Amino acid sequence: MEKIRRHFIFYGYVQGVGFRWRASHTAQRFGITGWVRNLDDGSVEMEAEGTENDINDLIDVLKGHLWGSIDDMISEHIPVQGDHVFEIV
């Protein structure tokens, strides 16, 4: 399947609850590359590159995160960059 890349910003209870670790661990499990980081306003920003199905599965896992909660999410498609890893930055 063709790879895509999406940029996300997650709002809610997403900092200090293992959200970035869960994103990184799950992305690696699905073969997704990119990065995730905390923002100063309490939100979390992420770019994910992989198949659309794998990225959707990653988002489903994050929405089901037991210790935090996503109240809102902004997502947009951006150009593929050809990353080789998924990092917490």
Active-site positions read 20, 38
74: burial class by Cβ within 10 Å (0-12, 13-18, 19+)? exposed
